[in-house]
Amino acid sequence: MKKKTNSGLKIICLNRKASFNYFFEDYYEAGIVLKGSEIKSIRNGRVNIADSYAVEKNGEIILINSHIATYKYSSLQNHKPLDERKLLLNKKEINKLIGKMQREGFTIIPTKMYFKKGKAKLELAVAKGKKHYDKRAVKKTRDWNRDKARYVRKSS
């Protein structure tokens, strides 16, 4: 019997900068409330979540500063590229996220956007910002691992 290789996920965009700037604690999967022109633009891959973050407004989690380009073939019903977008989460998850943001000083960062069974989903990470010396340590270990691999290749 043939094994299923694709788990139904099609990654649209990643937020690589976030792993360098933040320590991640928990991950959540959230749906996004989108308009028709927004989802068409996402299907074309014209989305950027590098500088975006999520906040709480009126008991809901809102995604701010995510850029979804305007859809070329849409007319009057086109959307604004930097609009605020509501995230779809369970009430229990929303309460956990709000508590962590207010009490413990964490922030909510989107790490990747993908399609799951035809629906656009967003992976959110509860994150704490790295200090400058943490970033330098990460660079130092990355460089050392690269040099170490280079030395092993040359010696063998």
Is the confidence at residue 3, as pLDDT, over 70? no
- pTM for this entry: 0.78
pLDDT, tens only, 65-95: 999 898 888 777 788 888 899 999 999 999 9
The C-alpha angle with vertex 27 and arms to 22 and 31, in degrees rounded to 5, equals 115
Domain ranges of the chain: 9-131
Is the confidence at residue 154, as pLDDT, over 70? yes
Computed over every residue of the chain, the mean pLDDT equals: 88
Whole-angstrom CA distances from 13 to 45, 98, 104, 121 are 8, 26, 29, 11
What would you report as the CA-atom Rg of the chain, rounded to the nearest whole angstrom? 19
Mean pLDDT of 86-115: 91
**CA separation for the pair 46, 93 (Å, rounded):** 29
- At 155, list the tokens: 């010696």
3-state helix, strand, coil in the chain (%, to 5): 35, 35, 30
Is the confidence at residue 144, as pLDDT, over 80? yes
How confident is residue 48, by pLDDT bands cut at 50, 70 and 90?
Answer: very high
CB 17 within 8 A of CB 26: no
- The CATH fold assigned to 9-131 is Small Protein B; Chain: A; (2.40.280)
Sign of CA dihedral 134, 137, 142, 143: positive
The C-alpha angle with vertex 92 and arms to 61 and 127, in degrees rounded to 5, equals 55
